[in-house]
Structure 1
Amino acid sequence: MRLSGNVATRIGAWAIAVSALAMGGSAWADPVVLNVVDVAGNLALTQKAIEAFRDKYPNLVSQVTFTNAPAPQLPGKIKAMQGAGRSDIDLVLTGTDALAAGIEQNLWMPLLPDRAKDFPGVLDKYAPNPRKMQDLAQGQGLEVSFMAAGPLIEYNPAHVSDPPKTTDQLLAWCKAHPDKLIYARPANSGAGRAFLMGLPYLLGDKDPHDPIHGWDKTWAYLKQLDSCIPYYPGGTSAVMKELGEGSRDMTLTVTGWDINPRALGVVPAEFKVQAFDNQTWVNDAHFMVIPKGVAPEKLPVLIKLMNFLLEPQQQAMTYDDGYFYPGPAVKDVPLSAAPQHSQDVLKKYGRPEYDQLIASHPNVVPLDAKAMVAAFHKWDQDIGAQKTK
């Protein structure tokens, strides 16, 4: 088959790029512009490291543009671009939500085992719980940060003297205090997602991995809870704003969304959290994925960047201000390796009990891609259809 001149030129550029990287970048001809889109708030953890990569390799990268976007809208946008033969987005930083939707729609470039030689020993780098989360990517992305998430109950202790410890107590409190409990739409909220996927374990549902046929108790419970919830914000930030301003007294949260808003002053520092008596931790993670159709000359730079972000020094930066606690996905990156600012924030606003709670209760991975998409669709249709803003 004869290649067109344009295709042959692009393949030639890619070959030159790969050769240049193999030689440490010295032969790189034209630095590229990388367009990074974040749909998970991950740039709070990784933007400084990405900028450090740009500064370290000016012969590879001339500029990095950063864009934030809502997770539910991104897969459709990428699908439309790919259908038009465009590749405006080079790297996506995503939670399990858009990761799952992209896997379902075949949007992401296969990385493992297809390109295992480009990521030597990467799976052995992950700590045990993050390693389990990496499997959710189905070889189409690499985990870059990890959170032992929740669900947890966060509350204003001035208005809640006896916080719920069980799902029955939570429902009773909500009915006794209508409009004082909210949580965000799970399809665009890590905290809402942890609550949705944690309920089957808390309620003893038939199959926590099957939201359509195994969550009868969960869907019934959510409909009862809906009776005392005023509406569902489109993201966790809006929830924390209302909690901090005092219009709500309680929400469902995760470790990072407890620590970080208090560190930022959005939520008062004295607000508290309560774990469930029969707590099961539904973990969370952020992933790096490359949309199919990315320019060939950019691919080797992206591969080098992804490996760079998994180095211990860059992983230590993911402690950040507690936004995605603890943060690092790879092994042997203690808090003492983090920047001093991160150490100070976590000392002041972290919860000493978290490490013990995480170690003493089961940790599970979220739903796989197909099941997660089905759960989001059913929640949107049956629970949040009339009350999501």
Structure 2
Amino acid sequence: MFTISRRQALGALAGFAVLPFGRSFADELALPTSPVALNIIDVAGNLQLTQAAIEKFGKENPGLVSKITFSRAPSPELPAKLAAQQAANRVDIDLVLTGPGAMSDGITQGLWIDVWTKYPTVLPKAEDVYLDSALMMQKNFGQNEGVAVVYSPSGPLFEYAPDRVKTIPRNTDELLAWVKANPGKFCYARPVNSGPGWTFLMAMPYILGDKNPSDPINGWEKTWAYLKALDEGIDYYPSGTTVTMKELAEGTRDMIVSTFGWDINPRVLGIVPKEIETFALEGTHWVPDTQFMCIPKGVAEEKVAVLVKLMAFMLEPAQQAYTYDKGYFYPGPAVKGVPLSAAPQESQDAIAEFGRPQYEELIRKFPVEAPLKPEALVAAFEKWDREVGANKMK
């Protein structure tokens, strides 16, 4: 799940770049004459989904890869770090695994190599391999520089304790009535720091039928009124999603906002009891999440040749099957033709035990909408902080 800052919002201003789906000749890079070491940094929690497949690439290509080093860093810190390295002509990060936030920032600042245009004979044809919704995210956020590697319709969902919640809200009116009748028993985390909070905020204009879901300032009249009414039954807004999960588990809250991944993975890990249930409101629209692979400018050409091959490798169905993981980014695969039966047995077992049979039907039933562009999303976050969360954030 990702957080977009004001600086990162400028990524939207790079414009809507149409992917070069034509198969024309472009720059070709010679593979290295001896194996290279790769330094990969993750700013999105992506390694949980992709590290096994990346390591598999290294093992299967000993003539190309001598060593792979993995590291993690906060997303907001990465663009400035990369820009400084590029200015000094000393780039030591070869591949970045990122959500739309840092990637959009990198597009604006010109940090990434344009891989889709330059290497169309190495990468697959995007419109042929991606799921429709993943292709939409690739166009909207990945543009020509990022390569979408995992995808989830995400949310919003609602988790609840069935022993404490006897009547399940079916629509927004019933949800509001339940929250007011059970003060302090419902919460969601501050949207700017929470994937579930983020998807909940962006989905409500669709669910409530606002006049312009893409304009949080002038088009969300019903949404802002609803969130303020909901606020009357909420004690406080935690700083992150993990807090809401723990409070649901310990009984402080009876109902919280969630997503597919945030439902399944914490139950697999034992953070939330297995018995917790979920529901979706009538008229739900999914707000998806996607993570990308990006190559910074300044990486040695011999490494770029290997990295683009790695990107293509990661889009193969066999590698995509690893992204089911333990439900962390459910379902996970961004490409077509990757059933759960293709995933490692550990993933199959985790999803079989902790997944929900109804999720596939819910994913098919409700439409998927593009997230707000970064500039509009930041405006929504700021308005929520100012007019909804105000003095209740911790």
Shorter-chain TM-score category?
A: 0.7 to 0.9
Q: How many Å separate the matches in 2 of 1:360 and 1:124?
A: 23
Q: How many Å separate the matches in 1 of 2:384 and 2:95?
A: 29
Is 2:172 the partner of 1:161? no
Is 2:30 the partner of 1:19? yes
Where does structure 2 lack aligned partners over 5 or more consecutive residues?
1-27
User: Deviation digits for residues 81-102 of structure 1, max 9, x if unmatched?
Assistant: 5555553433222233433444
Alignment of 1:1-389 (within 5 A): 18-20=29-31, 28-39=33-44, 41-82=45-86, 85-136=89-140, 137-384=142-389, 386-389=391-394
Q: C-alpha displacement at 1:52, in angstroms?
A: 1.3
Change in CA separation of 1:60 and 1:388 when aligned onto 2, cut-off 3 Å: farther
**Share of identical aligned residues, percent?**
54
Question: May I ask how many residue pairs the two structures share in their alignment?
Answer: 366
User: Deviation digits for residues 103-161 of structure 1, max 9, x if unmatched?
Assistant: 45544333333443331323311122222222122222111111122211111112111
Q: How many Å separate the matches in 2 of 1:227 and 1:70?
A: 34
User: Deviation digits for residues 255-286 of structure 1, max 9, x if unmatched?
Assistant: 11111111111111110101101111222222
Query: 2:155·2:288 contact (CA, 8 Å) conserved in 1?
Result: yes
User: Deviation digits for residues 27-48 of structure 1, max 9, x if unmatched?
Assistant: 5235223132232x22111111
- Equivalence for 1:12: none
Query: 1:32·1:62 contact (CA, 8 Å) conserved in 2?
Result: yes
Q: How many Å separate the matches in 1 of 2:327 and 2:342?
A: 14
- Equivalence for 2:25: none
Change in CA separation of 1:298 and 1:154 when aligned onto 2, cut-off 3 Å: same
Q: How many Å separate the matches in 2 of 1:178 and 1:170?
A: 12
Q: C-alpha displacement at 1:386, in angstroms?
A: 4.6
Q: C-alpha displacement at 1:296, in angstroms?
A: 3.8
Deviates more, 1:194-203 or 1:175-184: 175-184
Find the residue that maps to 2:30 and give its secondary structure. helix
Q: C-alpha displacement at 1:80, in angstroms?
A: 5.0
- Equivalence for 1:23: none
Deviates more, 1:99-108 or 1:357-366: 99-108
Query: 2:38·2:94 contact (CA, 8 Å) conserved in 1?
Result: no
Change in CA separation of 1:357 and 1:121 when aligned onto 2, cut-off 3 Å: same
Q: How many Å separate the matches in 1 of 2:375 and 2:118?
A: 22
Change in CA separation of 1:230 and 1:295 when aligned onto 2, cut-off 3 Å: farther
TM-score by length of structure 1 reads 0.85
Deviates more, 1:379-388 or 1:163-172: 379-388
Give me the CA root mean square deviation: 2.5
Query: 2:30·2:305 contact (CA, 8 Å) conserved in 1?
Result: no
Change in CA separation of 1:245 and 1:67 when aligned onto 2, cut-off 3 Å: farther
Change in CA separation of 1:141 and 1:332 when aligned onto 2, cut-off 3 Å: same
Q: C-alpha displacement at 1:336, in angstroms?
A: 1.1
Where does structure 1 lack aligned partners over 5 or more consecutive residues?
1-16, 21-26
Residue type at the aligned position of 1:18? L
Change in CA separation of 1:165 and 1:118 when aligned onto 2, cut-off 3 Å: same
Query: 1:184·1:234 contact (CA, 8 Å) conserved in 2?
Result: yes
Q: How many Å separate the matches in 2 of 1:324 and 1:267?
A: 17
Deviates more, 1:67-76 or 1:338-347: 67-76
User: Deviation digits for residues 191-212 of structure 1, max 9, x if unmatched?
Assistant: 2221111011011111112223
- Equivalence for 2:20: none
